[in-house]
Amino acid sequence: MSGTETIVVIGAGVIGLSTALSIQEHLSSTQSVLLVARDFPSDTSINYASPWAGAHYRPVPGSSPQALREANQALRTFNYIKKVATEEPAAGIKLVQGIEHLEAPPPEYLDSQSVSNVYHFEDFRSLEAEEVPAGVKWGVEYGTYVINSPVYCAHMLRKFIVKGGRTQKYTFVNINEAFALADNVKTVVNCSGTGFGDPKSFIIRGKLITDRGSWILVPLCPYSQTLESIANVDPGQTCLVRNPVSATITRQNEDGTWSFCIPRPLDGGTVIGGTKQPHDWDPNPSPEIRTQLLTNASKWFPFTPESGGQFDVIRDIVGRRPAREGGMRIEVEQVGDGKNIVHAYGAGGRGFELSRGVAEDATALMLESGLLRVQARATL
């Protein structure tokens, strides 16, 4: 491929895979994409967050610049995911009903403008008092999506390769190593998650229990605080059980804790959660919290009667998700000699919800900077 410019994308999580696919839609005939990562969708490393995720879309109200930016990214991702669900049934996506029950709704949920900024669903409906459980002060329902994360990540990787993308396993010490991984590398796209020493980056510990030998980490509720205070939260965990449920339901309790259930398409079970633990590297789960999660789920979520209040659970798993104070970093950094690093990392628990929007934003920056030279070829 002499004379061909190689664009290196670092990271094969949902952000890296989505960004690599988006970039492919704008390549010239003299450009190619190399996806480089320590972990790929077939791997189960504790530090490889995306294949562990039990993802759904649940809006997060807010009026800050970060909240509005993420709302826009989430909307574009929502529209893209709906299209993929319709056109690519093997992608591991299903459209389902989303339900929310809040016992003590934060101020942003009571602000009509903040709510309208994010609850953009055509079938969005506020629930009446007689339609919600006792103690619930705010309830809504809407159509949303759920994703079988390992299936979706593997699906995106296959699409990337079929479109001519190349992959390489590599563990980076310094981001500048990427410029030496192939001939004529002028642009490196940093979807590494943790940002190579960015002082604003941190990990969020999440734990779950799996069945059927599956490995998955759900986005652990970022809803009990505002987006700006995401670093100050309490410990928690999640569980994946065999028991099916037809809707994804999120419940906020009066004490500020959150619970949710997320069905995984293609017979992948149900994720039960949960909270998150920023800056916690402890790989050991808590049996006590596991028991509490399952007890709450049996009371609040509509599992099939044949479950009998019992859950088919195999084991506990801990995973880590990279987040960033102040939200994601999405920008172009010039590093000299005509070389650039495009940063797109730090999504925390919202990687799947923001993935396509972030990918489009990173691609748009590359187009504006002249790093890509062809208009879009396709959307899928």
Cα distance between residue 364 and residue 372, in whole Å? 9
Out of 168-177, 192-201, 265-274, 317-326, which region has the weakest mean confidence (pLDDT)? Answer: 317-326
Query: Which pLDDT score is estimated for 307?
Result: 67
Query: Which pLDDT score is estimated for 315?
Result: 53
79 Cβ contact partners less than 8 Å away, ≥ 6 residues apart: none
Are 37 and 169 in contact by the 8 Å Cβ rule? The answer is: yes
Backbone φ, ψ for residue 176 (5° rounding): -65, -15
For the chain, the C-alpha Rg in angstroms (whole number) is: 20
Q: What single DSSP character describes residue 123? A: T
Out of 185-194, 259-268, 304-313, which region has the weakest mean confidence (pLDDT)? Answer: 304-313
Cα distance between residue 266 and residue 212, in whole Å? 13
Which position has the higher pLDDT, 301 or 42? 301
Cα distance between residue 112 and residue 61, in whole Å? 10
pLDDT in tens, 277-290: 444 445 566 778 77
Site of tokens 């628990």: 349
188 Cβ contact partners less than 8 Å away, ≥ 6 residues apart: 7, 8, 9, 10, 175, 178, 179, 339, 340, 341, 342
3-state class of 342 per DSSP? Answer: strand
For the cut 60, the answer to whether the pLDDT of residue 165 exceeds it is yes
3-state class of 299 per DSSP? Answer: helix
Enumerate domains of the chain plus CATH numbers: 5-368 (3.40.50.720)
Both tokens assigned to 348: 């925390």
Antiparallel, parallel or unpaired: β 258-263 and 247-252 = antiparallel
Alpha-helix residue ranges (DSSP H) falling in the chain: 14-24, 65-87, 107-110, 112-118, 149-162, 287-300, 351-368
pLDDT in tens, 17-72: 999 999 999 999 999 999 999 989 976 655 555 656 678 999 999 888 888 999 99
For the cut 50, the answer to whether the pLDDT of residue 108 exceeds it is yes
Cα distance between residue 40 and residue 237, in whole Å? 24
Are 138 and 105 in contact by the 8 Å Cβ rule? The answer is: yes
For the cut 50, the answer to whether the pLDDT of residue 214 exceeds it is no
- The model's confidence at residue 212, banded by pLDDT at 50, 70 and 90, is very low
Sign of the dihedral through C-alpha 285, 287, 291, 292:
negative
Which position has the higher pLDDT, 288 or 205? 288
Cα distance between residue 355 and residue 301, in whole Å? 28
Cα distance between residue 321 and residue 26, in whole Å? 29
Site of tokens 């709906």: 82
Query: Which pLDDT score is estimated for 318?
Result: 56
Provide mean pLDDT across the span 201-223. Answer: 38
Out of 67-71, 239-243, 312-316, 359-363, which region has the weakest mean confidence (pLDDT)? Answer: 312-316
Closest CA to 341 of 320, 319, 318, 366: 366
- The model's confidence at residue 207, banded by pLDDT at 50, 70 and 90, is very low
Q: Model-level pTM?
A: 0.85
The 3-state DSSP composition of the chain as helix, strand, coil percent (nearest 5) reads: 30, 30, 40
For the cut 60, the answer to whether the pLDDT of residue 200 exceeds it is no
Angle at 168 between CA 163 and CA 173, to 5 degrees: 135
pLDDT in tens, 308-341: 668 898 556 555 555 556 678 899 999 988 999 9
DSSP annotation string for 251-279: EE-TTS-EEEEEEPTTT--EEEE---EET
Alpha-helix residue ranges (DSSP H) falling in 199-318: 287-300
Cα distance between residue 211 and residue 242, in whole Å? 6
Query: Which pLDDT score is estimated for 319?
Result: 53
Measured CA distances, 134 to 45, 98, 128, 129, 262 (Å): 41, 19, 12, 9, 22
